[in-house]
């Protein structure tokens, strides 16, 4: 079970980093969200993965650590607020700049055609 859990965290981190490095804003927002999900899973696993253990003292002989659960709950709320902020920031950037590229400039893919058209034919 730990291998599956660790591999899912690794896949989320790798997909998140891949999407963060994209040139458009929406994949960057998705990458940040996936990266925050991976951090939440990592925080949750720091309290040891256990089955059939109570989160409250006194109901059983063994109990689950409630601190990682509280940290993940707090991280979910903060992550949702930050995602909403970044989406609004991306929408504002698109309306101000006219495109949704991260640096605000559309890459020129027709550079080779412009060089050939500007040459004087003899």
> Is residue 119 included in any domain, yes or no?
no
d(CA 64, CA 44): 11
- For position 2, what pLDDT does the model report? 81
Domain total of the chain: 1
CATH of residue 80's domain is 1.10.287.3510
d(CA 18, CA 42): 19
Walk along the chain (122 residues) in steps of 10 and give the mean pLDDT of each run. Answer: 89 94 89 92 78 64 74 90 91 85 75 56 52
d(CA 69, CA 122): 75
- For position 49, what pLDDT does the model report? 65
Element (H, E) at 37: helix 25-45
- For position 10, what pLDDT does the model report? 94
């Amino acid at each position: 079970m730990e291998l599956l859990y660790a591999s899912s965290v690794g896949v989320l981190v790798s997909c998140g980093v891949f999407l963060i490095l994209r040139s458009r804003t929406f994949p960057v927002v998705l990458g940040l969200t996936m990266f925050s999900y991976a951090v939440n899973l990592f925080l949750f696993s720091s309290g040891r993965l256990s089955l059939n253990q109570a989160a409250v003292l006194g109901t059983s002989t063994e109990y689950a650590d409630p601190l990682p659960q509280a940290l993940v709950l707090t991280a979910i709320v903060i992550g949702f607020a930050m995602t909403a902020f970044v989406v609004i920031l991306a929408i504002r950037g698109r309306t101000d700049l006219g495109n949704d590229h991260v640096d605000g400039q559309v890459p020129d893919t027709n550079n080779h055609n412009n060089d050939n058209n500007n040459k004087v034919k003899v």
